[in-house]
């Protein structure tokens, strides 16, 4: 049962982080969609390169080959997506606007973050067990606040 839960969270994370394209007309949403599409394109390119010589003749070995190629492609695609988000955030903040991003952690927690022109940021993560919030102040101090639910 534990493997099924891990697979469900991994699939939910993949769909949210790569395939959930924005329907909002805001510029930040469109840039977020562009970053996610970049990650998807890198995944497809990696799979193409990794599997261009075909699969191994044995079915078990071919399944392992596809699994390892898929994991490697998703990891490289995630790095490309995060790099694209970083570049977009720098551009948006440099232009004098606040950069807003939402996402999902691999563990299934939802998060959002704001990056401001003065170099400060605010991040919040929500889980079934509570919420945490981190932020910086203009003098560079970092703060953290956690709220845990009582069961």
Task: Report the alpha-carbon distance of residue 100 to residue 113 in Å, rounded.
Answer: 6
Find all residues with CB under 8 Å of 76, minimum gap 6, and list them: 42, 43, 46
Q: Residue 127: pLDDT band by 50, 70, 90 thresholds? A: confident
DSSP secondary structure letter of residue 128: T
- Which two three-digit tokens encode residue 96? 């004098």
pLDDT per position as a tens digit, 56-115: 888 999 999 999 999 999 999 999 999 999 999 999 999 999 998 888 887 778 888 999
Paired with 125 in beta bridges are 111, 132
pLDDT at 132 over 90: yes
Give percent above pLDDT 70 in the chain. 92
Q: Which domain holds residue 113?
A: 2-148
As for how many domains the chain has, the answer is: 1
- Check if the beta carbon of residue 54 is closer than 8 Å to that of residue 69: no
pLDDT at 22 over 60: no
pLDDT at 122 over 90: yes
Question: What does the pLDDT read at residue 1?
Answer: 59
Q: Which residue has the higher pLDDT, 140 or 6?
A: 140
Per-residue pLDDT, averaged over 134-148, amounts to 93
Other C-beta atoms closer than 10 Å to the C-beta of 26 total 10
pTM score? 0.79
Question: What does the pLDDT read at residue 46?
Answer: 95
């Amino acid at each position: 049962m534990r493997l099924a839960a891990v697979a469900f969270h991994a699939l939910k994370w993949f769909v949210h982080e790569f395939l959930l394209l924005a329907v909002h007309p805001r510029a930040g949403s469109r840039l977020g969609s562009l970053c996610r599409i970049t990650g998807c394109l890198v995944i497809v390119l990696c799979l193409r390169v990794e599997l261009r010589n075909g699969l191994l003749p044995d079915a078990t070995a071919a399944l392992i080959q596809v699994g390892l190629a898929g994991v490697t492609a998703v990891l490289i695609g995630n790095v490309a997506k995060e790099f694209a988000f970083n570049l977009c955030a720098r551009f948006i903040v440099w232009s004098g606007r606040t950069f807003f991003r939402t996402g999902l952690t691999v563990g299934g927690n939802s998060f959002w973050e704001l990056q401001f022109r003065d170099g400060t940021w605010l991040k919040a993560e929500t889980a079934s067990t509570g919420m945490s919030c981190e932020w910086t102040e203009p003098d560079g101090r970092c703060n953290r606040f956690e709220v845990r639910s009582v069961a």
